[in-house]
Amino acid sequence: MPKINFEKIVKANRNKVFDIATNFKEFQKILPEYFPSIRVISIRDNVAVVEEHVRISGKELVMMTKHVIQYPELHEIFVIGGDMKGSHIVEKYDTIEQGTKITFDADIKLNGIQRMTDFFMKGKISRGFANIIDEFAKFAETQSP
């Protein structure tokens, strides 16, 4: 299954970048082209269960996710149901001189018909996640301090 890793430098304060990238309640408003539907099922302390519809490389994936947040440096996403069940995504946020460095590591598992094409989709999936992180970065960089 595809393993994806990349880094992104964001010219903004780490706390602000982290707040934007982990506010999944607002994803549908911030990036509606990537998140056509978000429904928060439950939140307890630093853990949230969320039903998400995510568009990656032209495909809409439906999944149930568990978000674990360790403010302001780590955001882990465990896909507990749906098209990417069993996937695990880790976003690490480090303060650097230029602002914030996001390190994105994912172990993607695709289910159903997606599984048959995952070998050919790795580049598209990787680019799709990178596009989402790029858009979050642009949003963070344009927000007032």
CATH class of 3-142: alpha beta
Please report which confidence band the pLDDT of residue 58 belongs to, taking 50, 70 and 90 as the band edges.
confident
For residue 53, count other CB atoms closer than 10 A to its CB: 17
Per-residue pLDDT tens over the stretch 66-81 = 999 999 999 999 999 9
CA gap 33, 37 in Å, rounded: 10
**120 compared with 138, residue with greater pLDDT:** 138
Q: Is 129 helix (H, G, I), strand (E, B) or coil?
A: helix
Asked whether the predicted pLDDT for residue 113 surpasses 70, the reply is no
Domain residue limits, the chain: 3-142
Asked whether the predicted pLDDT for residue 44 surpasses 50, the reply is yes
CA gap 45, 39 in Å, rounded: 18
Place of tokens 């990417």: 84
For the chain, what's the residue count?
145
Q: Is 141 helix (H, G, I), strand (E, B) or coil?
A: helix
